[in-house]
């Protein structure tokens, strides 16, 4: 009887963990989409300099490369990875 209850609790814990990971992934994807839309607006503004345009395009290329690598390796996405990359292409 206790073993069944323990298994049920473990299954519930695993389910909640997966559901939380999916929620974080959805929030992350929405955030990236929001950033991309903002970059599109910036790129379409007349006052945007060529240097700013290049920085945005380079950052997008890097993000696409990182995403393709992530998909190939199946590596779990990490917020630490993003923090390391933030300064790489911003404000060159």
Name the domain count of the chain. 1
What local confidence, expressed as pLDDT, does residue 17 receive? 98
Single pTM value for the model: 0.63
Can you give the residue range of the structural domain that contains 23? Answer: 2-89
Mean residue pLDDT of the chain comes to 85
The answer to which of 29-33, 34-38, 51-55, 84-88 has the lowest mean pLDDT is 84-88
> Do residues 17 and 34 make contact, with C-beta atoms less than 8 angstroms apart?
no
Q: Percentage of residues in the chain with pLDDT exceeding 70?
A: 80
What is the average pLDDT across 7-21?
98
**What is the helix, strand, coil percentage profile of the chain, to 5?**
85, 0, 15
């Amino acid at each position: 009887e206790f073993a069944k209850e323990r298994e049920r609790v473990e299954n519930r814990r695993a389910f909640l963990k997966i559901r939380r990971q999916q929620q974080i992934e959805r929030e992350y994807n929405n955030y990236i989409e929001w950033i991309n839309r903002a970059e599109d607006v910036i790129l379409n503004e007349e006052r945007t300099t060529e240097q700013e345009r290049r920085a945005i395009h380079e950052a997008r290329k890097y993000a696409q490369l990182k995403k393709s690598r992530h998909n190939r390796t199946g590596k779990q996405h990490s917020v630490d990875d993003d923090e390391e990359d933030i300064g790489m292409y911003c404000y060159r």
